[in-house]
Each structure stands twice: as C-alpha cells, then as structure tokens.
Structure 1
Amino acid sequence: MKKGLLSSVIAGALLMAGQVNAADYVIDTQGAHASVQFKVSHLGYSFVVGRFNDFSGDFSFDNGDIGASKVNVTINTASLDSNHAERDKHLRSEDFLNVAKFPQATFKSTSVEDKGDGKFVINGLLTLNGVSKDVAIDANLVGEGKDPWGGYRVGFIGSTEFALKDYDIKMDLGPASSHVKLDLVVEGIRQ
C-alpha cells in the first residue's frame, strides 16, 4: 500500500472512531440508575444525609474529545428527602432552599477538563435558591458499553462541595455546618 493511501486510511479510521465515540445521552432516572445525594454536618456531631428524588438531565460525551463534552441537569428542589418529614419541611422553607419561590436548581457545564485515566473536572454554573455560582465537579468515568436491551450506556460518579452562604441560605448552624457536599451518580443512555 502506498504511503499516501495508508495515511488516508488511518486518518479515515481515526475520524470514524471519533464519530462513533461522540454521542448524546439522557440520564437514566426512569430506571433509577442515577442519584443526587447531599451530606451536611449537623453541628459537627453527625451528618444529615439525603437526596433529591426528582431530577432530569442530558449530556454529550466523546471519550476522544473530553473538552467537547457538555452536561445539563435540572433538580426539583421540593423532592428533597432526608428521611425525616419535619426536617424536610424545614429544609424546603425560606431558611434553606425556599422551594416555593425557587422550585428548581440547575447545573449547566461551561467546560470539561480531562485529567487522564478516566478523571475529569466538570466546570459549570449551579443555580440554587435563585443564585448562580461557578462550581467544579470532580468526576470519574465508571464505564461504558452495550446494555442487554440493545442500547449503549456510559456512567460516571462525581462530587462537589460549596458553602451554603454562597447561595443565600439564611440558616446559620455554625462553622461545622457551613458547607454541603453533593455526591452524584450518573448513568446515561445513548440517544
């Protein structure tokens, strides 16, 4: 095979491989293969742990071009669930999430940085309690491949932490309870 033809074949194969990897996904909340969980210290003595039961989102992912990836998530803040009805009522109130006025929280990525070995930093704008701030999510690729139903899936885990006061959360329980950690599990179904 001539050198020019070989180069063209290799370039074509690389281009096709990149096209195969690039795809749009919907987060699989229907099958409960995704979660948004939170954890906040309670006065420095214990932790309040909970989740949001109602959220949706989509993302674009290209393992060959991580920087082209995008993420969009919308959370129904009233779906907060810490396994304690009275506490949940308080967390939904104006003291915390003010869900009557701000029924949704959103995250929209602005960039994705490839850190190698399946590790990424997803930078984006988190809007919560009517306030929008930049956050960075440390994420890891769990895996990707065909599912038993003829589809294709990819999964990630991620985490971020932010100060409650940055989102105008009124309740102040002291320095031990000033930050919330979010842990994310995302499984997407290729569209």
Structure 2
Amino acid sequence: MKRLALAAALSLFAASAFAAPMTYKLDPHHTMVIAQWNHFGFSNPYANFGDVDGTLVYDADDVSASSVEVTLPLTGLSSFAADFDTHLKSADFFDAAKFPVATFKSTKVEAAGEGKLKVTGDLTIKDVTKPVVLDVTLNKAGVHPMTKREAIGFDATATIKRSDFGVDMYVPNVGDEVKLRITTEAMAPAAE
C-alpha cells in the first residue's frame, strides 16, 4: 500500500513538473523579424531586424501563463542595401542614434485553435508604445537534435502602422501599413 501511495505521489509530481511553464532564450541565428511595406505602388521591399534578444515562457497546459519579451537592436536592421540601411537608421525613420532599440513585451496570450495563439503586447519604437496583436503558429516543441536541449519554434504575423510610431516619412506614397513576419527558434537553458 505504501509503495502504491509513493508511486502515485511520484507520478503526480512528475506530471506537475512536466506541465510547468518552460523558459526559453531566443536564438538570434534562427530568429528573423521581417518588415514589408509598399513603395509607391511599384514594389514591396522588406527589411530584417536581426540580432534579436529575448525570452519566451511557454506553458502548453495554460497558454495564458505564457509570455514573451524581445529586444530588437537597430544595429541589426538590414534592408540588404547598405545605403538604405543608413537612411532607415537616420532621423528620417528610426533615429537609431537616439532610439537604438525597439522592444515587444506581451500582455496577454490566448489559445486560438490547434497550435495557434493570439499574443497581445506592447511594441515600443522611438519611445512610442502601442498595442499589437500577433497571430502565432506553434511550429514544433521538443528536444533539439543538435543541442539535446528542449526547444520550441513559432511563426507569427501582424500588421502595424508606422505612422503610429513616428516613422512616417513619405506616407501615404510609401505605405503606412507594415506587415511583420516573424520566425523564431528558442532553447531552454543548458543544464548546469
């Protein structure tokens, strides 16, 4: 009887340990934040916000207990054209000398169907903070084959207005709406 009680207690402990929220560190080499806009109706160029730093907490049993916090250093901004990168970082757009980072911090995470989430959060660009809703798809969660650590991957999309953040040079000729596409891979910390 004691063995059964002990086994039951251990299995309950193991189940609750497995169900606990997991904290992950975003992998900057496998995380991309792509912004795309319309340019005078002729093209739809894009830029990548690289060098992403952040933490993701995911609770599969209670997604409302999940969260994400991300910093996007503007040093990592790349439009794949050096002179345009310089212009984007200038006071005409992001004013990276004065505002060197953009940030996102979630305020609410909700289930939105099988493998889908709605993540609401505060996006801050040039010290202006506005709410943004990300439509998120869980790509995979499990042990990463290379690191042998727990890992998770998501894709997300959102649309924002750049004029809301004071990045409004050439609006409306250059589109005000910016489509964001995000892909991220994150790892649990290495065991000590």
Normalised by the length of structure 2, the TM-score is 0.88
Residues 52-131 of structure 1: pairs in structure 2 closer than 5 A: 52-131=49-128
In structure 2, distance between residues paired with 1:74 and 1:181: 18
- Percent identity over the alignment? 35
Aligned to 2:25: 26
1:134-184 residue CA offsets vs partner (Å, 9 max, x unmatched): 100000000111122321111100011111110011402426611111111
8 A contact 1:18–1:64 mirrored in 2: no
Q: 1:167 aligns with which of 161, 165, 168?
A: 165
Report SS of the residue matched to 1:88: helix
Match of 1:150 among 148, 172, 188: 148
Q: Distance in 1 between matches of 2:80 and 2:129?
A: 28
Q: How far apart are the structure 1 equivalents of 2:174 and 2:102?
A: 24
Q: Which 4+ residue blocks in structure 1 deviate beyond 2 angstroms?
A: 11-19
Q: Which has the higher strand share?
A: 1
- Secondary structure of 1:19's partner? helix
Native 8 Å contact 2:26 2:52 kept in 1: no
Do structure 1's residue 187 and structure 2's residue 171 form an aligned pair? no
Give the direction of change, closer, same or farther, for the CA distance of 1:14–1:132 in structure 2 (3 Å limit).
farther
Contact 1:25 1:190 in 2 (8 A): yes
SS of alignment partner, residue 97 of structure 2: coil
Q: Judge conservation of contact 1:37–1:49 (CA < 8 Å) in 2.
A: yes
Query: Could you tell me how far apart the structure 2 residues matched to 1:154 and 1:15 are?
Result: 23
Q: Secondary structure at the match of 1:44?
A: coil
Shift of 1:45: 1.4
For the Cα contact (< 8 Å) 1:18–1:62, is it kept in 2?
Answer: no
RMSD: 2.2
Comparing 108-117 and 171-180, the one that deviates more: 171-180
The separation in 2 between residues aligned to 1:139 and 1:83, in whole angstroms, is 26
Report how far residue 13 of structure 1 moved. Answer: 4.9
The count of corresponding residues between Structure 1 and Structure 2 is: 184
Q: Which residue of 2 aligns with 1:178?
A: 176
Point out where structure 2 has 5 or more consecutive residues left out of the alignment: none
Between stretches 85-94 and 169-178, larger displacement belongs to: 169-178
3-state SS of the aligned residue for 1:41? Answer: coil
TM (normalized to structure 1)? 0.88
